[in-house]
Structure 1
């Protein structure tokens, strides 16, 4: 019975935390970080201020959790698209396309590529990205280098360079640019780095 009670408490705690993150996601996107207050967040989540501060030290900590959850969701989309068995360059292309598609979720580009840097700072945001989207890109590049599809480029620098290109593409698409043009452009960049004759399929 005691074990069931502990599970029930954990379930309630998890539900409250999820409600706060969902409320934060909605309000940070619709109002912006600065214009969202803690009373707004607890009202939207349907919880008390005490519940908010039980789970998060402050509004910034909740914002950080929202960014982490959104970044993890993007990484899952990339990993689903760049499935095992694809040629390394094809996996990079599929993963990149999945990133750009995932970033079309309403509010996500603003949240992850604009607001997060301003609120959290570049260093903290880079650390989050390194666990999620940045990690998938590094892993894809490492697999391509190991397979001989890409030359032995400096992995971290190459990932940063391509990551910046993907972020810029996501911003452009969010502003109304044609997605297919950016897909082709980034694929051309990767193809230009490839070892001649490396399979792309």
Structure 2
């Protein structure tokens, strides 16, 4: 996860679940994530078993130029990717998996924009599975909302282990740039096979070369 919206929603969902595979859908309070609502959505299964939008945020609907409620979720993507997207969301519904998708969206006039999508399972009972998610634009160009996204192509997919991911996220509630400086060098014997070393700015320099 690279974008603040995805990280914030994941952390909220993870706190709600308390170690369970997924929190109950009734536990989600919109007021708790009000700053994220414009980009969030909830999916459900229709009578055919297909994932459709139950709810979608205002900015998300503006990006696609229509009210998304009731629309097929896989239909947002190019035909060649729709079956893959459907399988991934089925995994969110049934296996309580967490999915992260990076994709490029294209407008009707040929403009393009990159997005990050996070899909999180909600426990609605065996007959009413739900998916909570967010679609965040990597950048927000001026034409979003005026030139709707009509096609999308998947760039990358990651299925996340929610029990491992928090170990990385919990120590960084905000996105921060890590220091370039490496950790302090260990005991001398840990580098003895390479010779003596010294640190210059963010580099570790090993002394060597020929003696002449």
TM-score computed with the length of structure 1 as normaliser: 0.24
By percentage of residues, which structure has more helix? 1
Larger radius of gyration between Structure 1 and Structure 2: 2
TM-score computed with the length of structure 2 as normaliser: 0.24
By percentage of residues, which structure has more strand? 2
